[in-house]
Structure 1
Amino acid sequence: MDTTLLADTDYPLLNIFWTMLELFLWVLWFFLLFKIITDIFRSHDLSGWGKAGWLVLVILLPLIGVLVYLIARGQSMTKRDIEQAQETQAAFKSYIRDAAASGPDGGGGRSHVDDLAKLADLKDKGAITEEEYQQAKAKILA
């Protein structure tokens, strides 16, 4: 008896595609479930009891709970996603501004680059001489 022929026809190609579709739908389902649970906890307009109720509904009756949640609160999910993205971007920009303002030495004041730019500007305007510029530059870089 030839076992390799039996193994080749044991799982037809259509069953492979069906299995891949089922796997994809499971991954999609879990992604949607985690997205909704995250949205429940992040929602500021729900009370603690409201969050608990939605969570119980989504966990105990997952298909019905997820569909009802999407119908009832689907548009507000998008608004909360946008608000969170804007808050994250604002926090990132604030961090960048604070980091750039602190300068390379970690202090809260001006950086050496700012001081050198002001010195160069003073020299260009003729307020200080080349010798004074070089002395002040050496002092800043030391």
Structure 2
Amino acid sequence: MDVVDSLWDWVLVLLFWFLFFAYLLILWQILTDLFRDRELSGWWKAVWVLFLVAFPFLTALVYLVARGRGMSERQVAAVHQVRADTDAYIRHVATASPAEQIAGAKALLDAGTITPDEFATLKAKALA
């Protein structure tokens, strides 16, 4: 009987920690959404944060019901913006001009890192 009690105690502890971390995740999402929203004034943000501190569970529930749709729209917009920025950066880095590629290969040749044959190969590849 002792093992069963300790097993259920362990399950309850795990359930408690799971719910606690789920609550922290929701709280983090609410706070990031509050500060991501540019249409909401600073005073309203302060009011939401004050209520999140004073009445955390009730305020989180009210926030998710009242602003849930806008929250998801802002999250999707942020994801699209990050993806667009990443794609633009990758295109910028990946599409070095042939002159830049040849200049980089020439610098490697001058430093003695590559041989003249390797420089010729890199130059032909850049011009292709």
With the length of structure 2 as denominator, give the TM-score of the two structures.
0.73
Cα displacement string for residues 57-97 of structure 1 (whole angstroms, at most 9, x for unaligned residues) = 11211011101100110111110110000000000010011
CA distance in 2, matches of 1:98, 1:80: 27
Structure with the larger helix share? 2
Kindly provide the amino acid, as one letter, of the partner of residue 41 in structure 1: F
RMSD of aligned Cα (Å): 2.3
Task: Say whether residues 1:79 and 2:73 are aligned partners.
Answer: yes
Deviation above 6 Å: which 4+ runs of structure 1?
none
Q: Does residue 38 of the first structure (1) align with residue 32 of the second (2)?
A: yes
1:47 aligns with 2:45: no
Q: What does residue 26 of structure 1 align with? A: 20
Count of matched residue positions in the alignment of Structure 1 and Structure 2: 106
Greater relative CO (CA pairs within 8 A, separation 6+): 2
Matched position secondary structure for 1:86: helix
User: Bigger shift: 30-39 or 10-19?
Assistant: 10-19
Segments of 5+ residues of structure 1 without an aligned counterpart are 1-7, 118-142
3-state secondary structure, aligned to 1:12: helix
From 57, 68, 75, give the equivalent of 2:51: 57
Deviations 1:24-65 (A, max 9, x none): 111111111111111111111101111111111112110111
Q: CA deviation at 1:19?
A: 1.4
Q: Partners in 1 of 2:82 and 2:52 — Cα distance?
A: 28
Cα separation, 2, equivalents of 1:9 and 1:55: 44
Q: Percent identity?
A: 32
Q: Does 1:69 align with 2:63?
A: yes
* TM-score, structure 1 normalization: 0.67
Matches for 1:78-97 after TM superposition, within 5 Å: 78-97=72-91
Unmatched tracts of structure 2, length 5 or more: 106-121
Q: CA deviation at 1:10?
A: 9.3
Q: Quick check: which has more Rg, 1 or 2?
A: 1
1 CA distance for matches of 2:80 and 2:39? 18
1:99 to 93, 97, 100: 93
- Aligned pairs for 1:10-25 (under 5 A) are 11-25=5-19
